[in-house]
């Protein structure tokens, strides 16, 4: 076992630069759709990049792409320093980020709410993905802040649940998420694109979007599904 290599991979690290600016990359992702990205990842043998299907957008129209800012927590009754710790985490959230909560599969508390939305939005955060819950839902909706989560609840996390750490590798379902990975969510759910392949995957997803225009044109022109497949189409 190469312990040093494993430690380096799992430790907090500086984000590798991308071939284009993060903002341009994420804006371009938002012009494609998660199914196209998923097909590209499938071609590369990456079959487990989608968060569990019970993590859904608060509103069907919500579509967001940003850079993962990971947070890890679990059920915990202690309260001492909780607010200070949460404030510190929120102050580290950066422009273009998406807060991604690994909650150790919580089923009870809200890890996100109105004031957290306001505070992170002010810092340029684009959305929150929570393997848990949200509260103050009507206010979060009014703020037009994309949130993907499992449930809504009035249970604040204070005294029930707390953060363990942030900007560390996390795991939701069977998906590894590293700080800096690209997170893309739409009506079909949330997909995680490893940072080192994010640009290449985007370019291929854009090609799929173009190609599917041609396939749909063939279908609309009356070609049978068999003819469409013979001409290189797919469904």
Residues that bind ligand OAA in the complex, under the rule CB under 6 A: 110, 113-116, 135-136, 156-158
92 vs 200, beta carbon nearer ligand OAA? 92
- At residue 158, the 3 state secondary structure works out as coil
Give CA separation, 2 vs 98, 127, 148, in Å.
32, 37, 37
Question: Please, what is the minimum distance in Å from the beta carbon of residue 210 to Mg ion?
Answer: 44
Binding partner of 195, given ligand OAA, Mg ion, none, CB within 5-8 angstroms per partner class: none
113 vs 233, beta carbon nearer ligand OAA? 113
The whole-angstrom separation of Cα 106 and Cα 109 is 7
Question: Please, what is the minimum distance in Å from the beta carbon of residue 120 to Mg ion?
Answer: 13
**Count of residues for the chain?**
235
Question: Please, what is the minimum distance in Å from the beta carbon of residue 146 to Mg ion?
Answer: 18
Cα dihedral 10, 12, 18, 22 in deg (nearest 10)? 120
63 vs 162, beta carbon nearer ligand OAA? 162
With CA atoms as reference, report the closest residue to 131 among 192, 54, 79, 61: 54
Residues numbered 77-116 forming contacts with Mg ion, rule: CB under 5 A: 113-114
Among 22, 102, 131, 136, binds Mg ion (CB under 5 A): 136
Question: Please, what is the minimum distance in Å from the beta carbon of residue 71 to ligand OAA?
Answer: 12
Tokens encoding 173: 């379902």
Total number of residues that touch Mg ion (CB under 5 A):
3
Specify the pairing of strand 189-193 against strand 182-186.
antiparallel
Question: Please, what is the minimum distance in Å from the beta carbon of residue 235 to ligand OAA?
Answer: 43
135 vs 204, beta carbon nearer ligand OAA? 135
Cα dihedral 147, 162, 183, 42 in deg (nearest 10)? -110
Residues that bind Mg ion (CB under 5 A): 113-114, 136
């Amino acid at each position: 076992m190469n312990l040093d290599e494993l430690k380096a991979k799992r430790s907090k690290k500086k984000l590798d630069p991308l071939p284009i600016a993060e903002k341009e990359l994420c804006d371009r992702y938002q012009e494609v759709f998660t199914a196209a990205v998923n097909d590209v990842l499938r071609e590369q043998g990456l079959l487990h990049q989608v968060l569990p299907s019970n993590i859904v957008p608060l509103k069907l129209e919500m579509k967001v792409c940003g850079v993962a800012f990971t947070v890890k927590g679990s059920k915990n009754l202690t309260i001492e320093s909780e607010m200070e710790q949460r404030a510190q985490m929120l102050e580290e959230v950066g422009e273009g980020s998406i807060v991604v909560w690994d909650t150790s599969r919580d089923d009870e508390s809200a890890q996100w709410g109105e004031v957290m939305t306001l505070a992170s939005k002010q810092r340029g955060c684009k959305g929150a993905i929570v393997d848990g819950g949200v509260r103050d839902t009507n206010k979060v909706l009014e703020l037009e802040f994309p949130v993907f989560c499992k449930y809504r609840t009035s249970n604040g996390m204070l005294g029930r649940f707390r953060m363990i750490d942030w900007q560390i590798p996390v795991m939701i379902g069977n998906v590894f998420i590293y700080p800096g990975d690209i997170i893309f969510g739409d009506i079909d759910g949330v997909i995680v694109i490893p940072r080192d392949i994010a640009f290449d995957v985007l370019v291929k997803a854009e090609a799929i979007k173009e190609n599917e225009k041609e396939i749909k044109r063939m279908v609309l022109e009356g070609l049978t599904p068999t003819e469409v497949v013979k001409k290189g189409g797919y469904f």
